[in-house]
Homo-oligomer: A and B are copies of this chain.
């Protein structure tokens, strides 16, 4: 892990009346002892898996641009929780990716996620391509946590590995379902927001045949986004929960800077409410935000949206600590 380059993007307010996230985050060079509810930001600046999946490169710059926006945001919604010590926010920096294979990067990500969770923290992983979902799930499996997954995404990401061994940005949940069938995992995968124009019939069938659940965008809208999401979260309440947010789940009007933009999709209002709910859940084990591609962004719109969505989740975490006090 490396944190040296973070100084550039950690906004510090000079005004005690105007505390930003950059004022309250603790940059640490290794996973610290943690108390209360601790969230740990870490970045995976690569797009190797995107390129393998024939996507357009650029997501490697995602973690830095998300931080640039996140740390400038007001900390108001979690300031009390932070000041009371009930909640902590760390940034352990980025995995050093230069010159490494995707497999090496995934191994390091796996190690740090195991470390964060073992130490009592909730990893908030900044992608990078969606391939990084697998090392997180692998870590949960190793730690023998029973967990369910909610993947907020336009795509199913259940494509086969290349040559049966090489993961890519469209394969993470295939990796999960393959393992799942081995009996190692018994909790579900919920694919939330898939679009029929973005997923093949065979892949939809694959998810269903392997015990996953698909909630298509159109169905979700018919029932209401938040009620559908709340039910998804409720269905995994007895185990731990991992939530993955692919930024292409949003309509590209809101999220133009992604590897594969979606003409239709969720609004920030819809997903913000869902993530606040996620943050409130005691069983939240891990979260990530993936596929921000700053090369195609417009005036930082997508990075800002990623930052705002992380803050919705952190606000929920802060509320939870308040309820416990």
**Measuring CB to CB, which residues of chain A are less than 8 angstroms from any residue of chain B?**
15-19, 69, 73-77, 79-80, 159-160, 195-204, 206, 218, 221, 251-254, 256, 261-265, 267-269, 272-273, 276, 296, 298-302, 304-305, 307-308, 311, 315
By Cβ-Cβ distance, the 8 closest A-B pairs, closest first, are A264-B268, A263-B305, A263-B304, A17-B202, A76-B201, A253-B253, A73-B197, A77-B196
* Nearest opposing residue in chain B for A311, CB measure: B197
Contact B298 A19 (CB under 8 A): no
Contact of A273 among B80, B218, B252, B273 (CB under 8 A): B218
A107 to B18, CA, bound (A): 29
Q: Which residues of B contact A302 (CB under 8 A)?
A: 263
* Nearest opposing residue in chain B for A16, CB measure: B202
A243 to B267, CA, bound (A): 27
Q: Taking the full assembly, how many copies of this chain does it contain?
A: 3
Contact B253 A254 (CB under 8 A): yes
A sample of 26 cross-chain residue pairs with beta-carbon separation below 8 angstroms, ordered by A number, consists of A15-B200, A17-B160, A17-B202, A17-B206, A73-B197, A73-B198, A74-B200, A75-B200, A76-B200, A77-B196, A77-B197, A79-B201, A197-B307, A197-B311, A218-B276, A251-B254, A251-B267, A251-B268, A256-B299, A261-B299, A263-B302, A263-B308, A264-B268, A264-B269, A264-B272, A265-B268
Contact B263 A199 (CB under 8 A): no
The residue in A199, A267, A269 that gathers the most chain B C-beta atoms within 10 A of its C-beta is A269
- Identify 15 new A-B residue pairs, CB closer than 8 A, beyond the known A196-B311, A252-B301: A17-B202, A17-B203, A19-B202, A74-B198, A74-B201, A75-B200, A75-B201, A221-B269, A251-B253, A253-B253, A254-B263, A256-B301, A261-B300, A263-B301, A263-B304
